[in-house]
Amino acid sequence: MTEVIVECTHCDNVLDVEEAESPERDEDGDVICDRCYEELYRDDCSRCGEIVDKTDLPTGPDNLIIMMEETDSDLPVGYYRVLRRPFFVDGMVCGWFLKDALQRVADLDKQGQYAAENRYTAAGPMCRHCQATICATQEPKDQQ
């Protein structure tokens, strides 16, 4: 019996038997290992930590992001609505947020505070569920 060796086209690692049975593929259709797939297409929500497809962490206009640390941009921590892109400029050493591209919508709630304590970035994208949760708490305010 010959064992078929399947290699990841990105990192050249040999896929384990389980992965090789139904391997993930990149957008060109090339076989990639689970780890590369996660890196390429999946990321974690900065608020709840859930690992989801990157397309489910939208940061386009009208989406919400979480700001977990006061940065040089002088934006207090909280939830922000993206008004336009880009809202972040990458500098040589660090980047900064563009104040007029972001609108503050809410203070961090309990889960946001917890995320901020365990953060590894100053700000981050949120999954659709978290965005909807924050939006829901904002609606009554908007209608006033």
Binding site for Zn ion (CB under 5 A): 8, 10-11, 13, 33, 36, 45, 47-48, 127, 130
Shortest reach from residue 11's CB to Zn ion, in Å? 3
Cα(50)–Cα(123) distance, rounded to whole angstroms? 16
Cβ nearer to Zn ion, comparing 98 with 124: 124
Dihedral, CA atoms, 9, 15, 20, 25, nearest 10 degrees?
Answer: -30
Minimum CB separation from Zn ion for residue 103, in Å? Answer: 20
Q: Specify the residue, 99 or 129, whose C-beta has the smaller distance to Zn ion.
A: 129
Q: Which is nearer to Zn ion, 10 or 104 (CB)?
A: 10
Q: Using CA atoms, how far apart are residues 106 and 138, in angstroms rounded to an integer? A: 8
CB of 73 to Zn ion, least distance (A): 23
Q: Please name the residue ranges forming H helices in the chain.
A: 17-21, 34-41, 110-117, 128-143
